[in-house]
Amino acid sequence: MKVISIISTKGGVGKTTLTANLGGCLSAMGKKVLMIDADPQPSLSSYYKILEQAQGGLTEILTDPQNVNSYISKTQYGDLIYSNDHNNQLQSWLASKGDGRFRLKIAINKLVEEYDYILIDTQGAKGNLQDAAVLAADILISPMPPEMAVIKELERGTLSMLSDLQSYKNMGINVPSLFGVIYKVDRTKDAKQFIEYLNNPTKDKFYTMLNTQIPQAVTFKEATSQQIPVTKFMNGTKKQQSKAQNSAIAISELILEIGML
């Protein structure tokens, strides 16, 4: 089983869309997939139609991690633990518990024999819930649209969060490696310059860029509105179908690259 947390302390970079499409594509490939919505704003929870809804979700797996199987819902494109922390109380609750940052990992460890992949969607901020998602993961993936604001937030937000967690090394707990994926790529000159910057290897960068680039495509939005992964998008004009195919290929290439990490 591989646990992948999709992280960025900046909102609006595409974490939920990437999580849902990775999950949908992996599920279509016959993999057993669980998606966990660890964002108080439950976008992933409604991304796909829920076929069988459990009587609990994120709150329950953290407060009652021993019974995590009771809180797994079913969708057409993989299993789901939905977010039900509507008042954003889990952050402070986790802070009050000595093992708070490890509650998610405890729950996930109960599922080792159940899934091939567990994908965790996170909120664009820093906090105990984000820390828990990091410490529960085997690898971290951060979608990075080629924008200056994203680069600045990466350095002062996401990397700062990971640096703060390095103290757990004293307990024998390693922070997973962070991999960036260029996301929402367009053909502008600015985008090209930012991509060159992100891909420039320097000793002070604490992340590795993946080779896959996810294109900027309206078909992601259209697939979302239909509650399907982009790999299942078949409608629209020939141009739209072509863009959807390119997006699907990019997601598939990312999965292959992740599989080698």
Tell me the per-residue pLDDT of 126-185, one tens digit each, with 9 for 90 and over: 999 999 999 999 999 999 998 888 888 998 999 999 999 999 998 889 999 999 999 888
Amino acid identity of residue 29, one-letter, is M
| Alpha carbons 158 and 68: distance in angstroms, whole number | 28
Give the confidence band of 202 by pLDDT, cuts at 50, 70, 90.
low
pTM above 0.85, yes or no: yes
Could you tell me the strand order of the sheet in which 117-122 lies?
50-52, 73-75, 78-81, 33-38, 117-122, 2-6, 139-144, 177-185, 208-215
Residue 124 tokens read as 């664009």
**Could you give the angle at which helices 15-28 and 218-225 cross, rounded to 10 degrees?**
70
- C-alpha span between 125 and 259 (Å, rounded): 27
pLDDT of residue 240: 75
Nearest-angstrom CA–CA distance, 255 and 222? 22
CB atoms within 10 A of CB 88: 13
Report whether CATH 3.40.50.300 matches the domain 2-259. Answer: yes
Indicate left, alpha or beta for 217 from its phi (over 0: left) and psi (-120 to 50: alpha): beta
- Give the pLDDT score at 155: 87
pLDDT at 126: 96
Q: What is the mean pLDDT of residues 42-49?
A: 97
Q: Tell me if 165 sits within 8 A of 155, measured CB to CB.
A: no
Q: Residue 40: its pLDDT value, please?
A: 94
The closest alpha carbon to 83, from 128, 112, 123, belongs to: 123
Q: What is the pLDDT of residue 52?
A: 98
- Would you kindly state where each structural domain of the chain is located, as residue ranges? 2-259
Interval 64-86: pLDDT, tens: 999 999 999 999 999 999 999 98
Show Cβ contacts of residue 21 under 8 Å, excluding neighbours closer than 6 positions: 220, 223, 229, 230, 231, 251
Q: Which range is least confidently modeled, 12-21, 131-140, 193-202?
A: 193-202
Give residue 199's pLDDT band: very low, low, confident or very high (50, 70, 90): confident
Q: Is the pLDDT of residue 203 over 70?
A: no
DSSP class of 230: G
Of 188-202, 214-228, 232-246, which gets the smallest average pLDDT?
188-202
How many helices (H) and strands (E) in the chain? 10, 9
Phi, psi of 48 (to 5 degrees): -115, 150
Residue 201 pLDDT grade (very low, low, confident, very high; cuts 50, 70, 90): low
What is the amino acid identity at position 214?
A: I
**pLDDT per residue as tens digits for the range 84-124:** 998 899 999 999 999 999 999 999 999 999 999 999 999 99
Cβ-contact 7, 134 below 8 angstroms: yes
Token pair 């009652």 is found at 64
Instruction: Indicate the Cα dihedral angle 35, 38, 39, 42, nearest 10°.
Output: 50
**132, 179, 28, 71: CA torsion to nearest 10:** 0
